[in-house]
Copies of this chain bind each other. A is one copy, B any other.
């Protein structure tokens, strides 16, 4: 379906500033953006016009890191720290996904919420269960959203009920997942998903890296999130120069790898992420909630590392990625104030860029309204945020991001296809 959509348009071409076009036109042809215009060019006059005058029109947001099974317990147990939280909340809950009935119920809630959110693309973790992960992917595929899903792999340091016992078994299950998912799904593609080094043996990681290469699958995992975890990795991988190097030696880092967190990256680690073209999923809410700290995003950006945003539900409490945008700004202000005065705070524009074009790059030409970008679009009704003064489109966009809970997503397209809200 080709169309023209009229509204108050706001998107990112580069991190430094928002591009806004009040009462502008965005044109979709063959699922791809043909451009944004002040006045509609004659050549598009025959296309159906969707009139969203007075509403905000933005690219869909890209959630680079979210745990689908954790959605069921978002906002719970937030007084705990990472390893304790994993043991008492995350792992017991994830074990329930051996039961397909429970998985269906819980994943319906997750997919339904994602569908109605401002997010159009996501890279998500499931659990280690192949059938439940296929069920999740089926539901996501039907939603119209796009992205990656990973069956989680773990073969050590996990409770028995969430462990694949051996590297061989883990690799075998992963291959089953990759094969079935590749066959059955088009919009959601399978991702190789080692939980993190502490839970994956070298042997499992090596086999997973081979499978990723063989199936052309992206890799997603966690990196340098928490000081205790980093210490553990140092013990488990005494030869590695850093946590990132441990992944690298096992063949896990490349331009199709997304690593969540990087809260405590060493200088060599940053260089390695840059060299390998890895994308970092910055998850500020999660880093606060489970007391990890604040990721040095400015340092990563300065070094040329690709950075996008993740909700990291349920370390983060909400899948609302606008919240991740403003959390990223707030966290970076505290980093500047409390940790390093050389690392200037992120601007809202930079954080919005990370949530759209920045993180979108992991999914292809996604996250902007520049010509050639896949037409991921959301319409935001900010009428619930009345104001006594005149506001520019940029100001309204700022406010909608800071108060996204008070705005409704009233329309959504992914790659030019309408999503039922």
List residues of A whose CB falls within 8 A of some B CB. 72-79, 93, 96, 102, 105-106, 109, 285, 288-289, 291-294, 317-318, 320, 326, 329-331, 333-334, 336-339, 345, 347-348, 385-389, 391, 395, 398-406
Which 5 residue pairs across A and B have the least CB separation, nearest first?
A405-B405, A75-B402, A75-B399, A288-B330, A106-B388
- Pair A403/B348 contact, Cβ less than 8 Å: no
Contacts A/B (CB < 8 Å), 5 sampled:
A75-B402, A76-B395, A109-B388, A320-B405, A404-B405
In the complex, besides A105-B388, A334-B338, 5 extra interface pairs with C-beta distance below 8 angstroms are A72-B388, A74-B399, A79-B348, A334-B334, A405-B405
Smallest CB separation, A231 vs chain B (Å): 15
Instruction: Report the separation of the CA atoms of residues A75 and B325 in the bound assembly, to the nearest whole angstrom.
Output: 13
Shortest Cβ distance from A110 into B: residue: B388
Instruction: Report the separation of the CA atoms of residues A148 and B294 in the bound assembly, to the nearest whole angstrom.
Output: 37
- Pair A317/B402 contact, Cβ less than 8 Å: yes
Contacts A74-B399, A74-B402, A293-B338 known; A288 to B333 CB distance under 8 Å?
A: yes
Contacts A288-B334, A333-B289, A338-B338 known; A386 to B76 CB distance under 8 Å?
A: no
- Chain B residues near A79: list those with CB within 8 A: 329, 345, 347-348
- Chain B residues near A403: list those with CB within 8 A: 74-75, 317-318
- Chain B residues near A72: list those with CB within 8 A: 387-389
- Chain B residues near A106: list those with CB within 8 A: 388
Smallest CB separation, A411 vs chain B (Å): 20
Q: How many copies does the complex hold?
A: 2
Shortest Cβ distance from A335 into B: residue: B338
Contact partner, A387, options B109, B320, B339, Cβ 8 Å: B109
Contact partner, A333, options B291, B320, B326, B348, Cβ 8 Å: B291
- Chain B residues near A398: list those with CB within 8 A: 75-78
Smallest CB separation, A388 vs chain B (Å): 4
Smallest CB separation, A335 vs chain B (Å): 8
Instruction: Report the separation of the CA atoms of residues A361 and B76 in the bound assembly, to the nearest whole angstrom.
Output: 28
Instruction: Report the separation of the CA atoms of residues A391 and B89 in the bound assembly, to the nearest whole angstrom.
Output: 13
- Pair A339/B338 contact, Cβ less than 8 Å: yes
Instruction: Report the separation of the CA atoms of residues A200 and B326 in the bound assembly, to the nearest whole angstrom.
Output: 34
Instruction: Report the separation of the CA atoms of residues A317 and B327 in the bound assembly, to the nearest whole angstrom.
Output: 12
- Pair A329/B78 contact, Cβ less than 8 Å: yes
Instruction: Report the separation of the CA atoms of residues A339 and B100 in the bound assembly, to the nearest whole angstrom.
Output: 45
Smallest CB separation, A399 vs chain B (Å): 4
- Pair A405/B402 contact, Cβ less than 8 Å: no
Smallest CB separation, A106 vs chain B (Å): 4
Contacts A105-B388, A345-B291 known; A399 to B334 CB distance under 8 Å?
A: no
Which residue of A79, A109, A293, A345 has the most chain B CB atoms within 10 A of its CB atom? A79
Smallest CB separation, A384 vs chain B (Å): 10
- Pair B338/A294 contact, Cβ less than 8 Å: yes
- Chain B residues near A385: list those with CB within 8 A: 75
Smallest CB separation, A227 vs chain B (Å): 9
Shortest Cβ distance from A348 into B: residue: B79
Instruction: Report the separation of the CA atoms of residues A93 and B389 in the bound assembly, to the nearest whole angstrom.
Output: 9
